Structure 1
């Protein structure tokens, strides 16, 4: 059963994320949806490709309640597949091709997809994984060159009601290193798409720089769905290059620049190595998310682009941001801004009660973006989803007197040193203020006397030298004694995941290797 054309009304029983491109294919079929490698795809062309992809998938036996694993980097084909599967009622599990072979296989074994697809034409890593699964090359109409693994005819289908409620699976390793499949709902994703478009005042005249992987909630909800919700276009890239950003800004195409803090740090480093004036005649909004923003980075980004650096707080389990700074009220601090429409927040103490304003506590959120749960993991779902519809985020934060949120760390990152609570983000912000420090990451390490010591990893700015003893002297007047690092370890480069997330598990392993007695 194929979908109707772009003018077909959405089902009264439910709304799907594919309703977003369907609407614009009907309203403005000639409007540009995606710019990729110098080629433009209109919303009308995109919907035509989606319909062709539906026919291809159904021809392979993919139906309501199935799961399809897409091993990819950003490309128009993966976006087309995402919306085609939405129309069918099957769940895409979009997975970043830059994951290791072990990680890909762990996700495959967990979600048991009926079909695996690899976008090998844009990703050498997708080629490698495709070969591992003995995938064959195909060129389906509307999608272009792909690799396809053998169909798993034994893959169980989800019940119809659940299949129609959940839009897709987003995989995250969490704190255990084992894959967790977040069941993001159509309702939550579409709600946040509207919130994202309104908070940025997006219109069809806008073009968003899109390098954040759509396998990550930031790239999927904020960048892709938020942009399309407004009928705006994406300038799509599979991998980040600072020169691509600067070119897109200089020619007046990019109006919306969004990325993780790491992306902005790399742009600044590139400009230091390649001094040049930054031209951005059409740029009107700059945003960072996916992790805490540090004050020094915020100041440098704002000075470079001549725009406020907006910030937000969100998570995979909420289908987007819960707090966002407002365009009309840019902030001078590093808060995550104000709560978004439809969301609620509790700041909970160790006794399970709400803490007074200004005190740190665990952040619990409630609203339309809350996930359905973790796929095939009722125990983890019960741990995260609490009575009354509250999601325990695992993050620690506090509210300012004006309602702005300040995130101070994750509950499992909290360091307890000699009975004092130490939040890594506070220590990192001070370490990063040293002129020779490019970025830092702080972890806690258990000691033989059952205490915790603080270990700071530091990446030095290119062209600078850093003396560890001098850095410790620099920190003395700026941090209390119990907050100062016991050890400072220098790294050539911080370990980040493909989506820009700092891999603290790897840092803990490095600390154990370096400091073992």
Structure 2
């Protein structure tokens, strides 16, 4: 019977003070800790200690080198939560190649759409090698059809390659560590180039300052390994601090979220992160028997990767209180793949800090004027994401490039040693967001309070109507406060109106089947948006489970806008076709009568 790797062991902890990821694995491999893989039923299926990972990765590196690839060759890896992915990722570190994690299909989405996505990413990174678990080989082979690759196969198939002779190349801090594709980058993929020095710097800050990793820490994760929070936060951070981590595959979490909490409870996990929707999913599914869990060991319940919804996290804390969950464990953070991972962390042991601001002032002037949380006037609420890590310079800038004062909302810019080198083979895209002196335009809107940062949303998502700034999450929050809707049932965005200018649109997933009741809900929501936000908003109801998500599981406003415009276009075409048919019929009838 296999046993999970231990939490504490004899090897002295080092917090990412290594030159390269390969150096970090060489050290971690001297200890007893490692990766543990669990099934959706909570059974331990695989164990990969760092000692075994080092041995297997070095052997696999020699086999990959037999392909005679150039230094820096891209090795595309379908990043399922399996040992083979980790082995091949670190084989690339030893061989001098660049691993490129690719997404896995999680839901019951279109096979064709997933295959197109893989093909787009393979082309985007100019892959030399493409590898996948056996279960994903049919997708990968279809995606790579007609492409010139040096090798395509399953992770296990590499055992059939004869190892190259000679030594592995020396580790080099200047090499590219990996390419990380940004969420939703399917049609126009953007691979973030992260060097060894950049990721090691960020990992050091995460471990020393963000989570303050301790010798008794154990990580638990269901996050996808093709997403920066899963890859860097729960694979690389664990290895570079020599901590054990327990994995549940993302698709298993989606089907059985209780297993995430069961793993934390059984294995005494101390650190686990999730976007808001993960906490919300647990709160909805675990309505009874919350006292089956003992979550008292969970010291850091991180929240990030999307706009943090305080209501969702509050529901989770209330639901799991019988399971000894302490809401002070919540830690908000802010980051992005373009910065390796982390930009800011809220302080530990204090829970969420919510900033209440005057919504009218925010919409009219762009200033986040403090408001009394208990005031009768409507207040906008934003979660503070803590202090920006000291490795970064950061500024909030207006549309004209002016550096803004405290509480003035603008675009977040950061500069520091963890910022990406650029997007792979996309110089124009890189130049658009990365200045010559190293400032990254994050594309996020926010404001600062000293060095504390508050994120209000994405610049591209902001709805501007008649000169007023409308935050889409305000409209979504109001909609989801209605009894017929749940968190995650609404997306707001700007779209062309009949007048030609952009108007506010809210698409809701509606479970109400009665036509009259559905129409009443739509009219109620339109009135609510008018009264509370001062904006005329068109509300459209769609079927449950149809709002689009990115590859990492986030709700996609851009996708909802695209789908909405497509539906409008199809409706217009049907009307035009019907009108044309009616016109033809009228001509025929006129000719008949004339004859």
Scaled by the length of structure 2, the TM-score of the pair is 0.74
Moved more, 280-289 or 55-64: 55-64
Q: Which residue is 1:423 aligned to?
A: 471
What secondary structure sits across from 1:386 in the alignment? coil
For the structure 1 residues 105 and 132, does the alpha-carbon distance in structure 2 shift closer, same or farther, using more than 3 Å as the test? closer
Say if 1:455 and 1:489, in contact at 8 Å, map to a contact too.
no
Q: CA deviation at 1:391?
A: 0.4
Counterparts of 2:353 and 2:177, CA distance in 1: 37
Say if 2:497 and 2:503, in contact at 8 Å, map to a contact too.
yes
Match of 1:485 among 537, 542, 548: 537
Deviations 1:392-445, CA, capped at 9 Å, x for gaps? 111111113x54222122222121111212121232233333344322221111
Moved more, 109-118 or 195-204: 195-204
Counterparts of 1:25 and 1:405, CA distance in 2: 38
Match of 2:232 among 221, 238, 246: 221
Q: Which residue is 1:157 aligned to?
A: none
Deviations 1:127-181, CA, capped at 9 Å, x for gaps? 4323654799978xxx6467999xxxxxxxxxx9999432111123667831111
Q: Are 1:413 and 2:461 an aligned pair?
A: yes
Q: Are 1:497 and 2:497 an aligned pair?
A: no
Deviations 1:183-204, CA, capped at 9 Å, x for gaps? 0121121112122223212234
Match of 1:23 among 27, 32, 39: 27
Q: CA deviation at 1:513?
A: 4.3
Match of 1:367 among 416, 421, 429: 416
Q: What are the within-5 Å matches in structure 2 for residues 434-513 of structure 1? A: 434-438=482-486, 439=488, 440-459=490-509, 467-475=521-529, 477=531, 479-482=532-535, 485-493=537-545, 494-513=547-566
Match of 1:75 among 76, 79, 82: 82
Q: Which residue is 1:170 aligned to?
A: 180
Q: What are the within-5 Å matches in structure 2 for residues 90-109 of structure 1? A: 90-98=97-105, 100-109=114-123
Moved more, 330-339 or 456-465: 456-465
Counterparts of 1:390 and 1:132, CA distance in 2: 36
What secondary structure sits across from 1:430 in the alignment? helix
Counterparts of 1:249 and 1:203, CA distance in 2: 17
Q: CA deviation at 1:35?
A: 4.0
Counterparts of 1:432 and 1:395, CA distance in 2: 23
- The size of the alignment, in residue pairs, is 483
Counterparts of 2:24 and 2:267, CA distance in 1: 26
Q: CA deviation at 1:319?
A: 0.7
Counterparts of 2:20 and 2:60, CA distance in 1: 17
Counterparts of 2:94 and 2:187, CA distance in 1: 32
Counterparts of 2:273 and 2:139, CA distance in 1: 30
Q: Which residue is 1:337 aligned to?
A: 386
For the structure 1 residues 35 and 109, does the alpha-carbon distance in structure 2 shift closer, same or farther, using more than 3 Å as the test? closer
Q: What are the within-5 Å matches in structure 2 for residues 112-511 of structure 1? A: 112-120=126-134, 124-130=135-141, 133=144, 144=156, 164-172=174-182, 177-198=187-208, 199-239=210-250, 240=253, 241-272=256-287, 276-277=290-291, 278-303=293-318, 304=320, 305-308=325-328, 309-333=330-354, 334-400=383-449, 402-438=450-486, 439=488, 440-459=490-509, 467-475=521-529, 477=531, 479-482=532-535, 485-493=537-545, 494-511=547-564
Match of 1:44 among 51, 63, 71: 51
Q: CA deviation at 1:211?
A: 2.0
For the structure 1 residues 461 and 318, does the alpha-carbon distance in structure 2 shift closer, same or farther, using more than 3 Å as the test? farther
**Radius of gyration: which is bigger?**
2
Scaled by the length of structure 1, the TM-score of the pair is 0.85
What secondary structure sits across from 1:335 in the alignment? strand
For the structure 1 residues 460 and 251, does the alpha-carbon distance in structure 2 shift closer, same or farther, using more than 3 Å as the test? farther
What secondary structure sits across from 1:437 in the alignment? coil
Ranges in structure 2 where 5+ consecutive residues have no aligned partner: 1-10, 12-17, 106-112, 162-169, 355-382, 573-595
Q: CA deviation at 1:56?
A: 1.8
Counterparts of 1:88 and 1:191, CA distance in 2: 22
What secondary structure sits across from 2:442 in the alignment? strand
For the structure 1 residues 472 and 295, does the alpha-carbon distance in structure 2 shift closer, same or farther, using more than 3 Å as the test? farther
For the structure 1 residues 331 and 211, does the alpha-carbon distance in structure 2 shift closer, same or farther, using more than 3 Å as the test? closer
Q: Which residue is 1:156 aligned to?
A: none
Say if 2:194 and 2:420, in contact at 8 Å, map to a contact too.
yes
Counterparts of 1:148 and 1:117, CA distance in 2: 14
Say if 2:222 and 2:260, in contact at 8 Å, map to a contact too.
no
Counterparts of 1:462 and 1:210, CA distance in 2: 35
